Chain A
Amino acid sequence: MMKRKTSLKKTLTLLLALCMTAALLAGCGSSGSNSSTTPAAGSSDSQPASAPAAEPAAEKEVTIALYRDGSIDTLDAATYNGPHVIYKMIYEGFVEDGGNGKILPQLATSWDISEDGKTYTFHLREGVKFSDGTDFNADAVIFNLKRWMNNDRHASLTSYKAESFEALDEHTVQIVFAESTYSILTELTYPRPNRFLAPSCVKDNGEVMGEFQWPVGTGQWMVEEYVPDETLVLVPNPYYWGDEPALDRIIFKIIPSGEARVLALESGEVDIIGGELLGKITSAGYTIVESDGIFDLYSASEMCAHYMNFSQENELFQDVRVRQAVNYAIDNDTMATTLLTGIGQAAKGLYNAETVPYVTLQNSPGYAYDLEKAKSLIAEAGLTDSNGDGFLDKNGTNYDLKLVITTEEFPEWAEVAQFIQASLAQIGLKVSISTVDTNAYTEIQMTTLDYDLIFQRTSSASWVPHNDMTIMFTQLSVAQGRARVWYDETLVENIWKALRSVDETERQEYYDLVFGQINDEALLTPLYYPIVTWAVNPQVVSSFEIGVNNYAPVDWTTLDVAS
């Protein structure tokens, strides 16, 4: 009898647990549908209508979701800690990216470049102050140059090596770079390391290699409050030399999960979600916010591309016909329209010819879906299915290809990988998906190269195509003779020729050769070009404008609260 009772008790407990789960789910659901009527505390301050009796001039605040911690206490420009976006808001460089390859003056009002393309003389903006009130001048520039110039940590940049740099007077600085490449000015727009910190940022005020303490820059914004893993609050820098922003405060809420970001927007906890480097909206999330019908949606294509590449060590992929067959067997159009709604556009060549410089539909046409052609290429390559199980084999053993992906940063890769798995099964290639965490992925991608197939993404914005080419195709120091994507001597030669070409037509010719070879020899399989999407709560936010690139994803100057 006792036994019977306990089992009854267990049943009841189980039922109770079920009811509670159901209640929890219902709770989530209802908070979503109420979103239009109950904005959270943080955003209600910003609505003048809801607080007329309070302070007459309510502070104008907007809350934005951020996918990772701000790492403010280590936001040293000479490192790669923290979100790119925050670097750009707090610090400035010599020049700024104006979009479409335009370089705008920032802390340098003008610059002279010598005939040989190596000596750059920057004329600094006068009267600029850091957010702590100290002066920005040539000494501050030299202090910063000493921190990151010639540091091998930044070796993927062509601008990291300088023969010399010196202050000619209080507002003039001259740098002699070791290499003359056309991309130096572009690289100086990057969020790091080419930014200028106040010497007071580091311990012992101005000690070049002193320990970093707190970010102080000349940028439009400065840190007001930082709670690790929770919030980051920025307010306008009172000493800023340029336009004053419309807002009084920007609050970043740290929400790592994509699903949670959508819920936070719906509940009014945050007012803006989206953006490649602030926290992407997943495909499912996009469908949800779209069907809610109360949010403004924005989207823009960007310069990044996601692709799959082959292991150069795998004998199967040393045959160009097999690589081409893989390209023909994957239907990028169907994949984009079904699996990547609102977040990705079908890829043709490696890069999007519409957005990326030097890329044209002639030099990167890509491979249209053609299963029959794929099958015949496989047959031409002499691969057979001798045991009749539907998969290609060699001496009775199936080829089993390990496809490495990570789904923390790229949740959509899980489904894309299964789509690829099914697509390649059609031409008899057996694929096993190996999902690893971010750290393991980086290790595999950059050091061990332990895969047959792997999903990767290109760089973005002003990094493409020039920096990407060296990152993808030149030999890695860690894996002798191998490159991150594919190593080919002719290709690398042409890449360097393109980078060193000062003449625009000559550069285009070399890039045509480079992209042509990548495409014709199918050195990789382009998958899709991500689309950056935003969902904005129009009851709280107005004047939302997408910024020039991922590093400045929103125009922070115009962003305002709704009146």
Chain B
Amino acid sequence: MAERTKTRRMTSFQKVLQRLAKDKMAVLCGIILLAFLLVAIFSSSLTPNDPNEVHPELRLAEPSFQYPLGNDQLGRCILSRLIAGTSTTLGNALAVLTGILVVGVPLGMYAGFKGGIVDNIIMRLVDVLCTFPSSLVALAVVGILGPGLTNIMLVLVTLWWAPLARMVRGEVLQIKEKEFVTAARCSGLSDTKIVFRHVLLNIVPPVVVYATLRVGAIIMHIAGFSFIGLGTQAPMSDWGVMLSDAREYLRFAPRMMLWPGLCIMIVAFSLNVFGEGLGEALKPGSKNLSRKEVQE
């Protein structure tokens, strides 16, 4: 039994991959993302120089053999900072994403599945949170608790689980009415089992798409706050910080701004295109896929 399930799932997964493979742009973006992810994971061994080592004598130096992208205003190696920045930038974004998923998915599922007063309370809370502009709240929190990455990340998690929860609830409401859920209920399965075995699997595709698209927004937000000096604090390297540092030297060392700007753009762009491609690939088959599984 277990064997067969596995092969079937594999085929469905392969179908998705096949569909995704047709979208050349999405594949390209997926590869780019993978490359960035690898750089982020192995950043500490990939940096050619110590990203935080200050060399005042190399201030704004041109690219050289030892420093391929040149040096910044404190003579630090730009390439090393860019690589170290990949891991902070992506790492922070993924941490926020995890937070959003951990809070948003269970609450959305609970609200959708239980309904009634619990649903009402959670959804009104969601409505309230959705009305807050995240940048404004982040500024207020920074004003009270002081600048720092943790505060910005907390704000993003606090506010951005809400739209996810709303989406998950919507999906759950639809799935709840499906025959296989009724069947499962008739066969005496407990609510917990139904939720974990049947409902959760079915909301994975839309959540994956949502998450991929959201990471781009998170990266932009964190970079934005780092840019105005409220996010990542020195000497930690971060693309937003690098952009901000480079701003003053735009007129005579524009290359300082070029690299972190390009990285942010490419990653955010790739995430969007890949996310949409993934959504497209998952869409038509997703319902069949789940039904088959449930019929087991």
Chain A residues in the interface with B (C-beta under 8 A) = 3-4, 6-7, 10-11, 14, 259, 282, 284, 287-288, 291, 334-335, 337-339, 407, 411, 414-415, 417-419, 421-423, 432-436, 440
Contact = CB atoms under 8 A, between A and B. Distances in A.
A238 B273 CA distance: 70
B32 to A, nearest CB: 15
B59 A7 contact: no
Given A337-B56, A414-B245, 5 more contacts: A7-B273, A14-B269, A284-B252, A419-B74, A440-B146
Given A287-B252, A434-B147, A421 B235 contact: yes
A418 B74 contact: yes
Contact of A419 (B54, B269, B272): B54
Q: Most chain-A Cβ atoms within 10 A of its Cβ — which of B57, B73, B248?
A: B248
List of 8 A-B pairs having minimum Cβ-Cβ separation, nearest first:
A422-B54, A338-B56, A284-B248, A7-B276, A334-B56, A338-B59, A433-B234, A418-B234
Contact of A415 (B52, B73, B252): B73
Contacts of A432: 233
A288 B251 contact: yes
A433 B279 CA distance: 43
A23 to B, nearest CB: 15
Contacts of A287: 252
B127 interface: no
23 contacts: A3-B279, A4-B280, A11-B273, A14-B269, A284-B248, A284-B252, A334-B56, A338-B75, A339-B56, A339-B59, A339-B74, A414-B234, A414-B245, A415-B74, A418-B235, A419-B54, A419-B56, A422-B52, A422-B54, A423-B54, A432-B233, A433-B235, A434-B147
B249 interface: yes
Contacts of B280: 3-4
Interface of B: 25, 52-54, 56-57, 59, 73-75, 146-147, 229, 233-235, 245, 247-249, 251-252, 269, 272-273, 276, 279-280
A39 to B, nearest CB: 21
B57 A338 contact: yes
Nearest to B25: A7
Contacts of B147: 434-436
Contact of A436 (B53, B75, B146): B146
Contacts of A3: 276, 279-280
A422 B276 contact: no
A434 B146 contact: yes
Contacts of B74: 339, 415, 418-419, 422
A353 to B, nearest CB: 25
Given A415-B74, A434-B146, A422 B59 contact: no
Nearest to A450: B146
Contacts, number: 71
B229 A435 contact: yes
Contact of A284 (B56, B229, B233, B251): B251
Nearest to A331: B56
Given A338-B56, A434-B147, A435-B229, A421 B234 contact: yes
A434 B252 contact: no
A288 B60 CA distance: 14
A10 B272 contact: yes
A87 to B, nearest CB: 31
A259 B235 CA distance: 24
Nearest to A1: B280
Nearest to A433: B234
Contacts of B146: 434, 436, 440
A415 B246 CA distance: 12
A435 B147 CA distance: 7
A94 B74 CA distance: 48
A339 B60 CA distance: 11
A339 B146 CA distance: 27
Chain A CB within 10 Å, residue with most, of B57, B75, B234, B276: B234
A269 to B, nearest CB: 17
B222 to A, nearest CB: 16
B272 A407 contact: no
A422 B235 contact: yes
A432 B233 CA distance: 8
Contact of B233 (A335, A337, A339, A433): A433
A436 B75 CA distance: 25
A14 to B, nearest CB: 7
Contacts of A288: 251-252
B236 to A, nearest CB: 10
A421 B76 CA distance: 13
A335 B279 CA distance: 53
A14 B75 CA distance: 33
A338 B75 CA distance: 10
A4 B146 CA distance: 43
Contacts of B269: 14
Contact of B229 (A259, A407, A415): A407
